[in-house]
Amino acid sequence: MVGFFDSGVGGRCVLDAFRRLCPDEPAVYVADSENCPYGNKPPEEIVRLSKRIAADLIGRGCEVVVVACNTATAAAIDELRNEWPEIPFVGMEPAVKPAALGSKSGIVGVLATRGTFNGRLYRETSSRVSDTVRIIECIADEFVDLVERGVVSGAEAEDAVRRRIEPLIAAGADRIVLGCTHFPHLKHLMENVADGRAEIVDPSDAVARRIAEVLKGVRSCASR
Ligand code: DGL
């Protein structure tokens, strides 16, 4: 069984991508809605919350735990791996590298939370591509709030999306990376606003493929 968790409902886009790929694989999803959002919480608090959820998922028999939250990955994945070295953890990281490789304008927009931008993983990856592309970072906490309220269509969501996407495109970005698992829930609106001027980069399917690979590895070890 695969365990997924996020600060809220955002990470369900990763679960959905995994279900499309492995429809028969049992999965459990924990949304820490009581403590959502994680975006501006101190890393120590996110570590504490993540450990509590991981312990619950592992206790329920999960063979792989997916940290379906960029912010929790940034703050806690090292600590989770230290605490449970026998359990494979799959985390989320903004897909800056593929976006940089695909960009023709040389300008990439990244939408994420403050916690993700401050994390070591993101800082390292973004500095690796900074010779070839310029990255414009944008914190979009209001998207988390919209998605938690289930507002993923209509004027309120469209206006919020337009306010973030238009300035990135005006600044020359032709790739916009979704660095928070709440944001793919608004992807259809982003694509409408972008209207072919920028590609919206959603890592959900790539992460789903990674989870399937990790699961296969766990099973082949167990059968040896
Ligand atoms: N879904 C989370 C992420 O991927 C963050 C949302 C929050 O601020 O709680 O970063």
Model pLDDT, residue 47: 98
For residue 181, give the ligand 1 atom closest to its CA: 4
How far away, in angstroms, is 204 Cα from ligand 1 center?
14
Model pLDDT, residue 71: 98
pLDDT in tens, 180-210: 999 999 999 999 999 999 999 999 999 999 9
Residue 152 three-state SS: coil
> 190: which DSSP letter?
H
Domains of the chain: 2-92+205-222 (3.40.50.1860), 96-202 (3.40.50.1860)
Strands of 62-141, DSSP E: 64-67, 89-90, 107-112, 134-139
Could you tell me which of 110, 98, 159 has the C-alpha nearest to residue 136?
Answer: 110
Model pLDDT, residue 170: 98
Model pLDDT, residue 99: 98
How far away, in angstroms, is 154 Cα from ligand 1 center?
22
Model pLDDT, residue 221: 76
> 165: which DSSP letter?
H
For residue 92, give the ligand 1 atom closest to its CA: 4
- Enumerate residues 6+ apart whose C-beta is below 8 A from 7: 31, 32, 33, 35, 36, 37, 38, 39, 69, 71, 72, 144
Output the six-digit token pair for 75. 């703050």
Output the six-digit token pair for 80. 């989770």
> 6: which DSSP letter?
E
How far away, in angstroms, is 24 Cα from ligand 1 center?
27
Q: Whose CA is nearest to atom 8 of ligand 1?
A: 39
Model pLDDT, residue 223: 72
Which ranges of the chain have pLDDT less than 50?
none
For residue 11, give the ligand 1 atom closest to its CA: 1
Model pLDDT, residue 128: 95
- Catalytic site residue 180? yes
- Catalytic site residue 69? yes
Instruction: List the catalytic residue out of 13, 36, 62, 180.
Output: 180
Starting at the edge strand found earlier in the chain, the sheet holding 107-112 runs 134-139, 107-112, 175-178, 199-201
Ramachandran assignment for 137, one of left (phi > 0), alpha (psi -120 to 50 degrees), beta (any other): beta
Could you tell me which of 134, 101, 93, 133 has the C-alpha nearest to residue 117?
Answer: 93
Instruction: List the catalytic residue out of 13, 36, 62, 69.
Output: 69
Residues lining ligand 1, CB < 6 A?
Answer: 6-8, 10, 36-39, 69-71, 92, 113, 116, 144, 180-182
Model pLDDT, residue 222: 73
How far away, in angstroms, is 99 Cα from ligand 1 center?
20
**Ligand 1, pocket-test mutation among 15, 53, 181, 183, most atoms within 8 A of CB:** 181
The HSE-up count of residue 117 (CA atoms within 13 Å, CB side) is 17
How far away, in angstroms, is 151 Cα from ligand 1 center?
16
